[in-house]
Amino acid sequence: MTFISANLQAVRDRIRLAAAVAGRNADSIGLLAVSKTMPAERVRDAAAAGQRAFGENYVQEGVDKARQLAGLGLEWHFIGPLQSNKTRPVAETFAWVHSIDRLKLAERLSAQRPADLPPLNVCVQVNVSGEDTKSGCTLEEAPALCRAVAALPNLRLRGLMAIPAPADEMTAQREPLARLRQLFEQLNREGLSLDTLSMGMSHDLEAAVLEGATMVRIGTAIFGERKKPQGSEQ
């Protein structure tokens, strides 16, 4: 057993336990393994331990890994900040993009999605902590952006994503996550059919499950600490 398969088992146990506490079915919570900065071999180890969905933050790195591991039937999710001039390889390679924070990005991805692929699954990223300058639209902008994205032909709007400011206490962690859940519920009441709340990382997985996450994005707890790359680390 590799350390990665042991870590994956531990993360699955955390999800199961948190789901039990929340009174939720653990099967309703998907696990996205965030493999940014990790070599393809580590992804292969995780795949051998049964993990299918992987998250990447940097376009070239993600495209390279997806190509290298093309035979394994993995599902690739783009979760990092995306520049408009780099949408094409993302539209051609990934199954999901979680980081839509402006309409222009979504329009380009829709236009560039190859006709022989299914629609690109997308989430709108919302800045739920407000005070910092991290990516994501504001809570106020989100409804109009979601409606515009949902109308694009080659995208399928699945839900919302957030990266809250780090907090240690469970109550402080839950507060911004609850704001995302409330927005999600509001948008569904207004007629969008969203099924994905992409929230929860290694340090706040339990808080996210308690607040209704349907997809947690876990890096460090699966692959170990990352070396800090130049500047762009989240």
Q: Which positions from 127 through 166 interact with ligand PLP, judged by CB under 6 A?
A: 163
Q: Is 219 in the site for ligand PLP (CB under 6 A)?
A: yes
**68 or 202, CB closer to ligand PLP?**
202
180 binds ligand PLP (CB under 6 A): no
Tokens of 233: 């680390």
- Told to check if 207 binds ligand PLP by CB under 6 A, we report no
Angle at 54 between CA 56 and CA 135, to 5 degrees: 40
| Encoded amino acid at 92, one letter | E
Q: Considering beta carbons, is residue 87 or 125 the nearer one to ligand PLP?
A: 125
User: Does residue 220 touch ligand PLP according to CB under 6 A?
Assistant: yes
* Residue 124 host element (H or E): strand 120-125
218 touching ligand PLP, by CB under 6 A? yes
200's torsion region: left (phi>0), alpha (psi -120 to 50) or beta?
Answer: left
Using the contact rule CB under 6 A, the part of the chain among 9-17, 43-51, 65-73, 214-222 near ligand PLP is: 214-222
CB nearer ligand PLP, residue 154 or residue 202:
202
User: Which residues lie across from 31 on neighbouring strands?
Assistant: 216
Angle at 95 between CA 127 and CA 152, to 5 degrees: 70
The one-letter amino acid at 46: A
Give, as ranges, the residues between 29 and 88 that touch ligand PLP (CB under 6 A): 34, 36, 57, 79-80
Those residues whose C-beta lies under 8 Å from the C-beta of residue 23, and which sit 6 or more positions away, are none
- DSSP tally for the chain: helices H, then strands E: 9, 8
In the complex, minimum distance from the CB of residue 164 to ligand PLP, in angstroms, rounded to a whole number: 11
Tell me if 232 contacts ligand PLP by CB under 6 A: no
List of residues contacting ligand PLP (CB under 6 A): 34, 36, 57, 79-80, 163, 201-203, 217-221, 234
